[in-house]
Amino acid sequence: MTNKATVTAPSNIAFIKYWGARDLAQAVPMNASISMTLTECVSRSTVAFSDGSDRPDRIELVGDDGSLTPPPPSFRERALAHLDRVRRWARRDGSFHVATRNSFPTGAGIASSASGFAALTLASTKALGLTLSTSELSDLARMSGSGSAARSVLGGYVEWSPAGEGAGHAVAIAPASHWDLRDVIALVDHGEKDVSSLDGHRLAASSPHFEARQRILPERLAIVRRAIEDRDLDALGPVLEEEAIELHLIAMSSKPPIFYWKPGTIQVLERLRGMRREGLFAWATMDAGANVHVICTPQAEAPVIAALTGLSGVSSVLLDGVGEGPRGEREHLF
Ligand code: PMV
């Protein structure tokens, strides 16, 4: 018998970043992180599970025109390992067929691994007929090796804190309806990044600044939690930018150094400073990539778009904002 399920899972943008792991294979983080789940940048996965079949698992990427292509080897390997993990968790024999589609450029610092592995986890467990709690799903998604996927199984504002030496799991700290924040994503580079976030985590502790970061984080986490609770962008914004710059400082000072920024990254950061001097408040954050996520209120969104699209280093902008989290779909990709 074959069972099929399709799930759309969003990406998320971290306000406090997961950077550095105790156990990289299982994504056991060194520090807690807080993110906002997005709504437009999503991965949709259809997973079919054929009971008892011994065919090898099959994974395909669906292009914009509906064409099917094999995924890049790095994703394929991790996805196959993850399907195996899910099968073992369910104690079932059989084979998976997966088709997955991203609504945004893959590997360009828009956390395609978060939405991709969240969608794969949710659709594969659903195809197996499992009913798992959100904590179990968050746990399972994290074990893919993409820690940020642990946060993408939930909507709104999400915190993922390690429990002692263990990984812990993500919990929602406020629903999307609590605070309508927008994320204007300035695309300064469409290409795949040169160094994966996995390598970034691996090298993080080699930076002389990594330990100092661990000492600063508890206070920063508290400010971000409170700013979300109070819907206070004036309190959140400066900490957002400080945190993102620190992630890149650690990357740039790792041994060997990792440099994600492009000229367009600096242009956007400079423009935002100028805008704030003119009284328009919007703040930047970046993941392990060159693109800049500009966090602002709905009122500031249009002027932010206008300012960013005028920059020579920005090829286009994607409009996103806080979202409700993953959802099941009736329509399958195959
Ligand atoms: O989920 P990973 O292993 O790709 O790591 C995510 C790293 C950052 O996106 C830079 C930060 C974060 O917390 O999302």
Q: Is the CB of 114 under 6 A from ligand 1?
A: yes
Are 239 and 154 members of one domain? no
Q: What is the pLDDT of residues 179-188, one digit of tens each?
A: 999 999 999 9
> Which pLDDT score is estimated for 322?
98
Our answer on whether the CB atom of 148 is closer than 6 Å to any ligand 1 atom is: yes
At residue 139, what is the residue type?
D
| Domain membership flag for residue 83 | yes
224 lies in some domain: yes
Rounded average pLDDT over 85-93: 95
Q: Whose CA is nearest to atom 6 of ligand 1?
A: 148
Q: Which of 106, 117, 287 to mutate to test the pocket of ligand 1 (most atoms within 8 A of CB)?
A: 287
In-domain check, residue 330:
no
Q: What is the DSSP string of 77-100?
A: HHHHHHHHHHHHHHT--EEEEEEE
- Residue span of the structural domain in which 219 resides: 182-321
Mean per-residue pLDDT for 253-273? Answer: 97
Same domain for 70 and 199: no
Q: What is the DSSP letter of 176?
A: G
**What percent of the chain shows pLDDT beyond 90?**
88
Task: Report the sign of the C-alpha dihedral through residues 102, 225, 31, 289, in that order.
Answer: positive
| Domain stops at, among 178, 195, 212 | 178
User: Is residue 108 over pLDDT 70?
Assistant: no
Q: Is 193 in the pocket of ligand 1 (CB under 6 A)?
A: no
pTM above 0.75, yes or no: yes
Q: Is 151 in the pocket of ligand 1 (CB under 6 A)?
A: no
Residues 161 and 203 in one domain: no
Number of domains present in the structure of the chain: 2
Q: How far apart are the CA of 51 and the centre of ligand 1, in A?
A: 34
Give residue for tokens 């709104």. Answer: 156
Confidence (pLDDT) at 109 = 54
Query: For the segment 307-332, what is each residue's pLDDT rounded down to a tens digit?
Result: 999 999 999 999 999 999 999 999 99
Instruction: For residues 168 and 108, state if they share a domain.
Output: yes
Residue 258 near residue 290 (C-beta atoms within 8 A): no
Determine whether the shortest distance from the Cβ of 146 to ligand 1 is under 6 A.
Answer: yes
Residue 13 CA: nearest ligand 1 atom is 14
Our answer on whether the CB atom of 33 is closer than 6 Å to any ligand 1 atom is yes
Residue with tokens 């500009």: 294
61, part of any domain:
yes
String of b and e for 144-172 (b: at least 16 CB within 10 Å)? bbbbbbbbbbbbbbbbbebeeeebbbbeb
- Return the CATH number at 277: 3.30.70.890
Per-residue pLDDT at 107: 53
Task: Examine the domain organization and report whether 219 and 204 are in the same domain.
Answer: yes
Confidence of residue 177 (pLDDT cuts 50, 70, 90): very high
- Cα-flanking dihedrals φ and ψ of residue 40, to 5°? -95, -35
How many residues can be counted in the chain? Answer: 334
Residue 211 shares a structural domain with residue 79 = no
In a domain, residue 257? The reply is yes
> Is residue 283 over pLDDT 90?
yes
Q: Edge to edge, what strands does the sheet with 283-285 contain?
A: 283-285, 292-296, 182-187, 316-321
Is the CB–ligand 1 distance for residue 124 below 6 Å? no
Q: Is 18 in the pocket of ligand 1 (CB under 6 A)?
A: yes
